[in-house]
């Protein structure tokens, strides 16, 4: 990152300048992507108050961090911290809003309505495929006995609406052959 200063920077000692350079390097890791960015520092002083303003253009957005303190170094570090927080927030916003399912999952042939999940699962894959099931089609509230009969077809669990309490329940088959009932 190229940094240009406008104002007096003479009052900083060498250890303070190294600390400032370390902060700027950390900011450069966040800001610099494929190309090197330019940062502009504007330093002003009013009586006993130092003001620091840093400006960086990131993704066609001009971001500004402003800090003020009686000490020049703390004003500059405050401005850098505020700018870094803005850049991280913008990057997270861009990452979260522009990432779609096509970019995160591997492209696979679309399963037809008659295909069962067992037919697709034969091919090894790194990301599991989600099969949406119409959970409201042909389902009615069940009693516990009906749920036990429905669970006999080889499944390990069943989610159903209890007909007596009208609450959601989960029936799980344990490894020892018994069942667990979880009621919501």
Convert the pLDDT of each residue in 98-113 to its tens digit: 666 555 545 555 555 5
CA distance 70 to 51: 9
pLDDT level of residue 90 (50, 70, 90 thresholds):
confident
Please, which pLDDT band fits residue 133 given cuts at 50, 70 and 90? low
DSSP per-residue letters across 23-82: HHHHHHHHH-SSS--EEEEEEEEETTEEEEEEEEEETTEEEEEEEEESSHHHHHHHHHHH
Whole-number pLDDT of residue 82: 93
Residue 76 pLDDT > 70:
yes
- Annotation: CATH topology of 2-98: Double Stranded RNA Binding Domain (3.30.160)
Confidence of residue 139 (pLDDT cuts 50, 70, 90): confident
CATH 3.30.505.50 occupies which residues in the chain?
A: 136-184
Residues forming CATH 3.30.160.100 domain(s) in the chain? 2-98
* Whole-prediction pTM: 0.50
Query: Tens digits of per-residue pLDDT, 8-60?
Result: 877 778 888 888 888 888 888 888 776 778 889 899 998 889 999 999 988 77
DSSP-assigned letter for residue 175? T
Q: How far apart are CA 77 and CA 23, in angstroms?
A: 7
Using only C-alpha atoms, what is the Rg of the chain? Answer: 30
Q: What is the dihedral angle through the alpha carbons of 115, 116, 119, 124, rounded to the nearest 10 degrees? A: 110
Q: How many CA within 13 A on the CB side of residue 139? A: 14
Comparing CA positions, the residue from 75, 69, 41, 45 lying closest to residue 55 is 41
The CATH T-level fold of domain 136-184 is SHC Adaptor Protein (3.30.505)
Question: Using an 8 Å Cβ cutoff, are 43 and 52 in contact?
Answer: yes
């Amino acid at each position: 990152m190229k940094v240009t200063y406008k104002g007096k920077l003479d009052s900083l000692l060498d250890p303070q300048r190294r600390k400032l350079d370390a902060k700027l390097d950390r900011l450069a890791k966040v800001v610099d992507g494929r190309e090197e960015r330019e940062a502009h520092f504007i330093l002003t002083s009013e009586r006993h108050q130092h003001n620091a303003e840093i400006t960086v253009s990131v993704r066609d957005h001009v971001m500004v961090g402003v800090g003020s303190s009686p000490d020049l170094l703390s004003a500059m570090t405050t401005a850098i911290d505020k700018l870094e927080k803005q850049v991280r927030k913008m990057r997270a916003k861009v990452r979260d809003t522009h990432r779609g399912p096509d970019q995160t999952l591997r492209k696979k042939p679309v399963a037809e309505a008659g295909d069962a999940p067992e037919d697709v699962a034969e091919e090894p894959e790194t990301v599991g495929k989600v099969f949406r099931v119409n959970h409201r089609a042909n389902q009615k509230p069940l009693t516990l006995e009906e749920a036990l009969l429905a669970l006999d077809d080889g499944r390990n669990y069943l989610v159903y609406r209890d007909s007596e309490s009208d609450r959601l329940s989960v029936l799980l088959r344990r490894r020892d052959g018994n069942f667990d009932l979880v009621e919501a």
